[in-house]
Amino acid sequence: MVPSVMTIAGSDSGGGAGIQADLRTFAAHRIHGLCAITALTAQNTRTVSAVHVPDVHFLDEQIDACFDDFDIRAVKLGMLASAAVIHAVADALERHPPIPLVLDPVMVATSGACLLDPDALDAMRQRLLPLASIITPNIPEAELLLGRPLRDENDALGAARALVAEGVRGALVKGGHLDTRGSVVDILALPGGGIERFEHARLDLAAHGTGCTLAAAIAANLASGLSITAACAYATDYVHRALLLGYRPGRSATVVLDHFGAAR
């Protein structure tokens, strides 16, 4: 059977993030992509105007249908809009054999608005962190998970270590929100004290879908048999290349990643 990777996330009608970005990433990595849609959004490169959350029983049907037929080697989790959705996803994953799980905790909008209510945040901590092979929060998301501000690279390092101490097998704290002198530094912490640092030049642009793409690329790499460290190294390089080649499909200045250009 051909290996597959499943994304459980929200749909972006503008095509730049969410399920759409994940499936492009899987295809660019020559991995068959599957999806279970947790939320439907009406959005473009400028705004999100509406969100619809399907019934959780239908979400169960999507997940179980995929596991029933495909050789799933990894799962990526993205937008999970409520505590009910988080519990449904955790229950579904626990019904099936454990496989690498990449958790992209979509919790904070670019505007700074929190996308999860307190019940959903608690559910994510209690149900999904113990299942995750790796979690990929940005700085505001790591602040919410840990309940403290993160101001610099040392704080990000401490946050990654603290998340691993909570039970995940890897924590990649993304440094795009930090001022690191013209570069973006992402820090990976592993059990046993291992630390890896991935640095790329900061690009002067506004982009959409980078977090989704990074987590999806890590999942694709894990499905191909790479270690967590190698999967993150290749994934951060991939996102940087996709940003360099990015394009503007809408009327705003927002850049969408070029997945297949990055793969070449």
pTM for the structure as a whole: 0.96
pLDDT digits (tens, 9 = 90+) for 184-208: 999 999 999 999 999 999 999 999 9
- 258 — phi, psi (to 5°)? -95, 95
pLDDT digits (tens, 9 = 90+) for 245-264: 999 999 999 999 999 999 98
pLDDT digits (tens, 9 = 90+) for 35-52: 999 999 999 999 888 889
Q: Which two tokens stand for residue 220?
A: 């694709």
Range of the domain at 242: 3-263
Q: In this structure, what CATH number is given to the domain that contains residue 143?
A: 3.40.1190.20
* Residue 110 confidence (pLDDT): 56
- Asked if residue 8 has pLDDT above 90, the reply is yes
- 81 — phi, psi (to 5°)? -75, -15
Q: In whole angstroms, what is the distance from residue 5 CA to residue 135 CA?
A: 17
- What value does the mean pLDDT take over residues 87-104? 96
Q: Which two tokens stand for residue 11?
A: 């749909």
Q: In whole angstroms, what is the distance from residue 22 CA to residue 110 CA?
A: 19
Q: Number of structural domains, the chain?
A: 1
The percentage of residues in the chain with a pLDDT greater than 70, rounded to a whole number, is 97
Q: In whole angstroms, what is the distance from residue 35 CA to residue 56 CA?
A: 15
Q: Which two tokens stand for residue 251?
A: 């009327």
